[in-house]
Amino acid sequence: MQKKDVKVPFIILALIIELVFGGAGRLIVIGERSISERFILFGFAMLYWVYSGFNGNKVKVYKTKYGIHVMSVFIMLIIAIVVGIINNNDFSNIISNFQGYSYLLLFFPFVISIKTKDQALKIFNLFINCAVILSVIIIILNFLMKIGFSYTTLANYMEKYGLGMISYTGETPRVFFKGSILVMVAFGNQLLIVINNYHENMIRSFMKLAILGLATIFSYTMGIWLGAFVVVLLIIVLQWKNLKGSTIFVGFIVLLSIIYFEKDTVLKVLQLRTKSTDISGIVKSQQIKVLFNLWRTHPFVGAGLGKEITIATVTGNRVMSQFESSWLQLLMNTGIFGLFIYGSLIVRMCIDGFLKLQNSDSSIRILGLSVFLSGISLSIVNWFNPALNNPIGIGYLVINLTILNVIRKEKFSFK
């Protein structure tokens, strides 16, 4: 999808690779301590931005498509920090709440590094290929668990390096990587590539799609499943005229194969997750009620970052400052003001991506629609699980904003 000699700064490529594989961002473990390679790379990227500015590679904030909007998010967060301090919220919780959003600053080193459509396509492809590799790992580990591989060994390893978790949904082993959210996004991206016949090797493209689809199912996470389901529906509706008989046939075969191998497990997970006795569902419902009631007492600017709440659950009392529904947490922490500022950035991004639907350049069309679809799917997941308040989701948000900043300048004509 791009020229082979396209150059992208190494720090940008490293950030994307780490985003997919890095989990919680603490792969460097020395003794009992872990060092965040993610924020080391973040620091280098910000230094690269500053260094580039001093060497004549200046990009004025107001000349980028989203620079002012991104800065307004940070102004909102600073206000939320002040409110949190005034309300005597624990300072370590304030920093913890803010830390994930700070990753949005990567928009600036990204935007000075990615200036052409070919560069945008390179990071787009790199992301998909990394997600495919992660998907292969997820699939292998799920099958190993099903044939009796040591639960303790794998669970300890995943926890030690912050990669994810091993659990059981009923009797079904579940290997969940934090990067599974990005696998769902890559699945939508690859589906766009296949439907638009924008690939060099049809077999390889369909294999990637099948691998990403199976790994998405293996997340056994309702939010991710719902996000992927909505993406598939939107692609069918928006790209119906591009669906060819061969594409539909092969896609149908791939879907049937996945369903055949995993139908029993999927049905069991759905039954467990939709039961009124599902502990996860009960805890989330309790959180929603408490967060909404707390927001009502501070409707405009919220209770501030770092607000700690004790919630009585079926598993006992839990003292929390991070919650399952990130949209409701944002509303509670920052009020209507914060939800509007941050939410409007996501909505604006989705609209700008959607407007590329009729672009005559298929690569711009795919990039634009991928931004639109990933914005929708991540927003759906963000209701059920943290997605757009941590480096994983925000990291991909940065990629989206960077892509749109580039393709807005491309010359194109409409059909």
Per-residue pLDDT band for 412 (boundaries 50, 70, 90) equals very low
Q: Between 391-407 and 180-195, two packed helices, what is the crossing angle to 10 degrees?
A: 30
Q: Any long-range contacts for 162-168 (C-beta under 8 Å, 24+ apart)?
A: 162/23, 162/24, 162/25, 162/26, 162/27, 162/34, 163/23, 163/24, 164/23
CA 59 – CA 168 distance, rounded (Å): 49
Cα angle, residue 182 at apex, residues 134 and 249 outer, rounded to 5°? 80
Residue 54 β-bridge partners = none
* Residue 188 scores a pLDDT above 90: yes
The H or E element containing residue 318 is strand 316-320
- Can you give the pLDDT at residue 271? 63
Q: What is the full DSSP assignment across 92-130? A: HHHHHHHHHHGGGGGHHHHHHH--SHHHHHHHHHHHHHH
- Can you give the pLDDT at residue 133? 97
What is the longest distance spanned by two Cα atoms in the chain? 62
CA 212 – CA 322 distance, rounded (Å): 29
The H or E element containing residue 33 is strand 33-35
Q: What is the CA radius of gyration of the chain?
A: 21
- Can you give the pLDDT at residue 76? 97
- Can you give the pLDDT at residue 357? 87
Per-residue pLDDT band for 170 (boundaries 50, 70, 90) equals low
- Can you give the pLDDT at residue 58? 63
pLDDT in tens, 31-58: 677 788 998 999 999 999 988 877 766 6
Residue 29 β-bridge partners = 34
pLDDT in tens, 368-377: 999 999 999 9
Q: How many CA atoms lie within 13 A of 196 on its CB side?
A: 25
Query: What pTM was estimated for this model as a whole?
Result: 0.90
Q: Residues for the chain: how many in total?
A: 415
Q: Which two tokens stand for residue 131?
A: 């997600």
CA 67 – CA 362 distance, rounded (Å): 27
Per-residue pLDDT band for 227 (boundaries 50, 70, 90) equals very high
The H or E element containing residue 173 is strand 172-177
The H or E element containing residue 62 is none
Contact 33, 131 (CB under 8 A): no
- Can you give the pLDDT at residue 194? 86
Judged by DSSP in three states, 266 sits in helix
pLDDT averaged over every residue in the chain: 85
- 396-401-402-408 Cα dihedral, nearest 10 degrees: 150
- State residue 412 phi and psi, 5-degree precision: -150, 165
